[in-house]
């Protein structure tokens, strides 16, 4: 955090909006973030072509390790994967990295590919829900989810609006993977999912795509979106016969401190219930679609969730979009290690650079 404030003061010295931006950055609760390049390189803009080349190099360098770990946690081999969902909003490849992963990691040639590029931070929840849908349609199949968010490659030195400066102090880089098993395993069994779009808010979180790449645009009304979304989360739980206020665990997107505090208020849930999301925000910053997978990793490592415990996963992002799921914890007594997931499988966040 101290380095971030120092760099911001140096790079945007004299800008009238800088004091406000610095105050907002200090209030994010982010203490540490990780980026794929040294900060000096990150603060320079070598051009869109070079940045996208770095995205390709770094994604291919970092994704295999987390994929191998996620499959090992789920007790599966590469040829057991029936579909790959790849989520990222910070770089562009065509064909998607899914094709490279299939060819490189020994997956079957008939593995389905589902790239998701434009749901931003909501894409982690969306990937979980689409994997759930796939396994419901094709019982017994397994879906690999890969999240690669290299947010630092979207830094724009000339963007000095308060929203841009705040995002520069909030977002971090991360790569994560999870396996959704169609049957068997230990973890959260997905039982119901839903999506919701707040009407007429599509411009609140967006990219302006210019010759210099992606320019992040954030409306000041975004932090207030938990008030209209909390009833939607409550309705999902109610439709499943549960009370959203009394679930045993919550895995939610950590977009910033107000998102978590407002969700606690409007959902009437103790703020401590979001401890895993808070920890992700503090130690990694907002890592976009990877947040929910890191929070799930922390839930696994905590090791106190018992069979039958009820929970919710929720991701929020551009649209304004919410992707939500509810399910209960299950355990496979035939396996010694409880590191698999049925429904939202074995999340593993790679060690950042």
Cβ density class 193-228: b for 16+ within 10 Å, e for less: bbebebeebeebbbeeeeeebbbbbbeeebeebbee
Residues 111, 78 contacting (CB under 8 angstroms): no
* DSSP characters over 93-117: -SS-HHHHHHHHHT--TT-EEEEE-
Q: Which of 63, 121, 151, 154 is catalytic?
A: 121
Using CA atoms, how far apart are residues 143 and 84, in angstroms rounded to an integer? 6
What is the β-pairing status of strands 345-349 and 321-330? unpaired
- CB-based burial label for 337 (10 Å; 0-12, 13-18, 19+): exposed
Check if 154 is active-site. Answer: no
Using CA atoms, how far apart are residues 182 and 136, in angstroms rounded to an integer? 8
Of 155, 157, 189, the C-alpha closest to 170 is: 155
Residues 155, 11 contacting (CB under 8 angstroms): no
Longest dimension (CA), the chain: 63
Q: Where are the alpha helices (DSSP H) in 159-289?
A: 162-168, 226-239, 257-267, 275-284
DSSP state of 332: -
Residues 256, 237 contacting (CB under 8 angstroms): no
Using CA atoms, how far apart are residues 276 and 80, in angstroms rounded to an integer? 30
Residues 33, 284 contacting (CB under 8 angstroms): yes
Using CA atoms, how far apart are residues 326 and 151, in angstroms rounded to an integer? 28
Catalytic residue set: 121
């Amino acid at each position: 955090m101290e380095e971030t404030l120092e760099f911001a003061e140096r790079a945007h010295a004299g800008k009238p909006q800088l004091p406000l931006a610095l105050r907002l950055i200090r209030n994010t609760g982010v203490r540490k973030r990780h980026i794929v390049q040294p900060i000096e390189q990150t603060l320079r803009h070598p051009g869109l072509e070079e940045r996208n080349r770095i995205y390709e190099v770094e994604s291919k360098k970092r994704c295999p390790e987390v994929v191998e770990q996620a499959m090992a946690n789920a007790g599966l081999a590469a040829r057991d994967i029936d579909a790959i969902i790849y989520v990222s909003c910070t770089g562009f490849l065509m064909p998607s990295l899914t094709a490279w992963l299939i060819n490189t990691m020994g997956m079957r040639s008939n593995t389905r590919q589902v790239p998701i590029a434009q749901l931003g931070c909501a894409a982690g929840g969306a990937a979980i829900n689409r994997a759930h849908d796939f396994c419901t349609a094709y019982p017994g199949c397994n879906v690999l989810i890969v999240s690669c968010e290299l947010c630092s490659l979207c830094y724009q030195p000339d963007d000095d609006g308060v929203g841009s400066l705040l995002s520069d102090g909030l977002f971090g880089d991360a790569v994560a993977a999870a396996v959704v098993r169609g049957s068997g395993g230990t973890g959260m069994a997905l039982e119901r999912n839903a999506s919701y779009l707040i009407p007429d808010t599509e411009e609140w979180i967006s990219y302006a795509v210019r010759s210099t790449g992606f320019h992040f645009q954030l409306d000041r009304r975004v932090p207030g979106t938990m008030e209209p979304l909390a009833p939607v989360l409550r309705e999902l739980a109610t439709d499943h016969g549960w009370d959203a206020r009394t679930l045993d665990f919550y895995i939610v997107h950590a977009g910033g401190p107000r998102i978590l505090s407002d969700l606690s208020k409007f959902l009437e849930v103790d703020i401590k219930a979001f401890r895993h999301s808070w920890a992700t925000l503090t130690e990694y910053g907002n890592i976009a679609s990877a947040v929910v997978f890191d929070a799930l990793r922390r839930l696994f490592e905590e090791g106190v969730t018992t069979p039958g415990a009820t929970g919710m996963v929720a991701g929020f992002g551009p649209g304004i979009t919410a992707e939500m799921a509810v399910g209960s914890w299950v355990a496979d007594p035939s396996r010694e290690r409880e590191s698999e997931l049925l429904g939202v499988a074995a999340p593993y966040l790679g060690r950042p650079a």
